[in-house]
A = this chain, B = another copy of it.
Amino acid sequence: MRHFLSVNDIESLPDWVDEAITLKQNPYQFEDLGKRKTVCLLFFNNSLRTRLSTQKAAMNLGMEVMIMNFGSESWVLEYQDGSVMDQGTSEHIKEAAQVVSQYCDIVAIRAFPDLKDREKDEAEEVLSGFAEYATVPVVNMESSTGHPLQALADAITLAEHTPKARPKVVLSWAPHPKALPHAVANSFTQMMKLQDAEFIITHPKGYELNPKITQGCQIEYNQEKALKDADFVYVKNWSSYTNYGKVLHQDLNWTMTQQKLGQAKFMHCLPVRRNVVVEDAVLDGNNSLVINQALNRTFSAQIVLKKILEAL
């Protein structure tokens, strides 16, 4: 494996999930693997779980970790080919990516979308720029359109808690006051397509995800109908894709409640806004898996770093 940019870079989802669950029992088993190896975590946006879990995963493997907040601690990067850099950008991605590659063995990148220009966001200039010019493997710590480390953690969580070989999993949109990216929903959907499951996406009309990603997935606009007999309900807000980056409405009828959830397990990637996205009773109840999902972030990152280290 050269880069880990999307769910498609998971060579075998069941194998990786199994291996992660084994690793979780003995996180330090491969602490010699990362000896003298360094991962550089570059943040173009804020982070809590991703930053700490990826750092912990690397340390579990015996790696050194360098962290940089690119925006506030370094220079503003240019991504366009051939540009005359006489304005706000100080360094081209061509140089930055090659240079950073020389100080570490793996580069991990977090870069959110602006949610203003769909074409620009889908071009993934930061992640793609590093993937193109870096001379070491690049890991996606959430880009404009994907969050594969989260999806892999979710797959581990599903495997640990599934009551049956072919569970029913529902991805349900929820209201939120701010315009949020599609990355988590995209990667979760892509990951579910690799699972043996009954998978349904439910959201109000107008909140359809990128049809290339949901292609082949069942979409149900009636939340109640979608949730019927679900084993897992993954709740997440995203802004409109068609009317790109817009909050069309914040319909609180879509807030997840204990009553709607029934016996299903509740999942969310966090951070979550209580009593907007989901009511307290769900998060504080026994069927919430959100803390488990967060724990599994360490092991999804650790599996990815391990695979990369083994291939170096």
Contact = CB atoms under 8 A, between A and B. Distances in A.
A48 B28 CA distance: 31
Given A66-B52, A66-B55, A104-B56, A273 B86 contact: yes
Given A91-B270, A177-B87, A274-B83, A69 B73 contact: yes
A86 B177 contact: yes
Contact of A73 (B43, B99, B273): B43
Contacts of A51: 68, 73-74
Contact of A91 (B84, B103, B271): B271
Given A271-B75, A275-B84, A294-B99, A28 B38 contact: no
Contacts of A64: 59
A56 B101 CA distance: 12
A104 B52 contact: yes
Given A38-B56, A55-B66, A298-B102, A78 B274 contact: yes
Contact of A48 (B52, B55, B96, B280): B96
A114 interface: no
A253 interface: no
B100 A52 contact: yes
A270 B92 CA distance: 10
State how many copies of this chain the complex holds. 3
Interface in A120-143: none
B28 A47 contact: no
B38 A59 contact: yes
A10 to B, nearest CB: 23
Nearest to A53: B103
Contacts of A52: 40, 66, 68, 100, 103-104
A94 interface: yes
24 contacts: A31-B36, A40-B52, A43-B73, A48-B100, A51-B74, A52-B104, A53-B103, A56-B66, A56-B103, A82-B280, A86-B177, A86-B250, A86-B273, A90-B271, A91-B270, A92-B272, A92-B274, A94-B283, A95-B283, A95-B290, A96-B271, A98-B294, A99-B291, A102-B295
Interface of A: 28, 31, 36, 38, 40, 43, 46-49, 51-53, 55-56, 59, 64, 66, 68-69, 72-75, 78, 82-87, 89-92, 94-96, 98-100, 102-104, 177, 250, 270-276, 280, 283-284, 290-291, 294-295, 298
